Chains A and B, each alone.
Chain A
């Protein structure tokens, strides 16, 4: 065993000396290789962590949201609609929700105005609770006053009662919570109308049946299930990951060509080296082992360094390099810290697709050169 280890170490010594002879070329290759792994791993880690986070927090969203559609567009829930919903068996709780969008011309950003239904979040008349991104963009703090011009042209002034916790920014960045009467006055909302209805269903197994009943009883309605919300988010991040990978595919292909050219096209020097090694008594197996170490040292170093750098970039520097692509271009930008999550399968896939092809591309041409007669190889 000791002898075997010693032999491998001599092979590594020889490989490193051989790599050092073409230092710039090999260091350049290692650098590009590491960068590629870094980019791929960053995208994979970031989207996976965001997907897990979204699934965790949105698990508490309403079981069914019922919208009313008119000519394919979302319309207000008229009076009497809520009562019809209440007659459907299985519906435990129903609440009319009031929310809408407001474009703030001062900072050119969109806010989501909302009336909290939950008693613990009740807001007094004339007061608002704002999201953390709003606090930043408008420089607000508790006790400050702020005016919004409504769509009817009237100016409405509110006092900021509180700011939502920064930790919840992923879901609350642009929220403005207000009293129901303020909301109706601000948007000139017709009395008794709601934006949509949130339903809770007593038995989770019954959610789909309740949705079917709702669709049958109220043909102009569109029930949106919590499952669909969760699936929408899963697919959004899959899609974004895919788009980024598609944009990166040119870089991946370019690297593929570079690595293939470097690994498979043996230079005259390398061929001569193999010829000499064989002529002085190296076996084919030794030459292959030597090249195997070369491939493994380069690809494993690139993978490990690239992955660790990506992990630190995503979870300790908030993925600053990819933020604009993955988050969007909105004026109000949520600032959030992701909880580190590593998906074993994702790491294994990344490892397989970055380390193995290079190792294989190194070995095949060497094996071809190593089984040829030394004399023929040296003459080239």
Chain B
């Protein structure tokens, strides 16, 4: 029975499907320790008032992309070439213009 190629192929396919299902189960598993670590990190963010991830530390506008002023990538010259590789992989910051016409009720 096992000598039939279809049995072997279907068995391998079923194994691969089981592997796929396992990844979904693994992703859904509760991870108490990991959850506690994320909570601790979040608490640290709150305590220190952090605003950015420490992913790209080479330039100030890549270390704190959310805080960088809109001109920082062109700080030396309007047409200056980008110094840091991350700069070319990072999109320009998306800040919504706050309406400055608003009147102050106070």
Q: How far is the CA of A129 from the CA of B100 in the complex (A)?
A: 40
* Interface flag for A289 (CB, 8 Å): no
- A215 to B90, Cβ gap below 8 A? no
* Interface flag for A321 (CB, 8 Å): no
Cβ contacts under 8 Å, B90 to chain A: 236, 239-240
Residue B63 contacts which of A170, A174, A311, A327 (CB distance < 8 angstroms)? A174
- Among B1-34, those with CB < 8 Å from A are 4-7, 9-10, 12-13, 16-17, 19-20, 22-24, 26-27, 31, 34
Cβ contacts under 8 Å, B63 to chain A: 101, 110, 112, 174
| Best-surrounded residue of B10, B37, B57, B96 (most CB of chain A within 10 A) | B57
* Interface flag for A35 (CB, 8 Å): no
Q: How far is the CA of A328 from the CA of B26 in the complex (A)?
A: 28
Also in contact, A95 and B38, with CB within 8 A (given A131-B54, A168-B44): no
Cβ contacts under 8 Å, A111 to chain B: 57
Interface size class of B (residues with CB under 8 A): 35 or more
Also in contact, A301 and B47, with CB within 8 A (given A213-B102, A236-B90): no
Cβ contacts under 8 Å, B84 to chain A: 329
Q: List 19 A-B contacts (CB under 8 A).
A: A58-B45, A73-B75, A87-B106, A88-B106, A95-B49, A109-B57, A112-B54, A121-B47, A168-B41, A170-B53, A171-B44, A173-B57, A216-B100, A216-B102, A331-B58, A332-B54, A334-B55, A339-B31, A341-B27
A→B interface (CB under 8 Å)? 9-10, 12-13, 16-17, 20, 53-54, 56-62, 65, 67, 69, 72-74, 87-89, 95, 97, 101, 109-112, 114, 116-118, 120-121, 131, 133, 164-165, 167-175, 177, 196, 198, 211-213, 215-217, 219, 222-224, 228-229, 231-233, 235-236, 239-240, 243, 297, 300-301, 304-305, 307-308, 311, 315, 325, 327-332, 334, 337, 339-342
Instruction: For the complex of A and B, list the 9 residue pairs with the smallest distance between their C-beta atoms, beginning with the closest.
Output: A328-B56, A304-B16, A60-B46, A167-B37, A12-B6, A173-B54, A330-B57, A239-B91, A118-B47
